[in-house]
Amino acid sequence: MRLSTLFVTITTIVILTACSDDMNEAQRKHRSSGVSAVDTTAYEVDKGAAFKDGKNVVIGSFKIGFLQEKKDVPIKTVSDKDGKKLAIAAPGDVKLTGVDGALMQRITDAAYADFTARLKKKGYAVTDRNALLKNRDFAHANKQTSPVRKEASLFGSDSTITYVAPSAHGNLYFVGESGESGGFGFSNPQVAAINYAEETKTQVLFVSYQLDFTDKEGSQKVSILPGNGIRMIGGKGDTFNTANGTILLGQPIFSDASCGEVIDKTADGKQAKSSLSLLKAVLGGGTEKTRAFEMKANPVKYQAVSVKLLADANEKLASKMTSLR
pLDDT score recorded for residue 152: 81
- Least Cα distance to 154 among 294, 278, 269 occurs for 278
Residues lower than pLDDT 50 in the chain:
1-40, 268-287
pLDDT score recorded for residue 58: 97
pTM: 0.79
Q: Which residues contact 297 (CB under 8 A, 6 or more apart)?
A: 96, 97, 98, 99, 213, 220, 259, 260
pLDDT score recorded for residue 84: 62
Are 109 and 167 within 8 A, CB to CB? yes
Are 19 and 176 within 8 A, CB to CB? yes
Per residue in 73-103, pLDDT (tens digit) is 776 666 655 666 655 556 778 899 999 999 9
pLDDT score recorded for residue 184: 53
Beta strands in the chain (DSSP E): 43-46, 56-79, 85-97, 125-126, 144-145, 148-150, 159-164, 171-172, 203-212, 223-224, 229-233, 244-249, 253-254, 260-264, 272-273, 289-297
pLDDT score recorded for residue 294: 87
d(CA 287, CA 283): 10
The residue type of 67 is: L
pLDDT score recorded for residue 74: 72
Task: Spell out the alpha helix ranges (H) of 175-298.
Answer: 189-200, 275-282
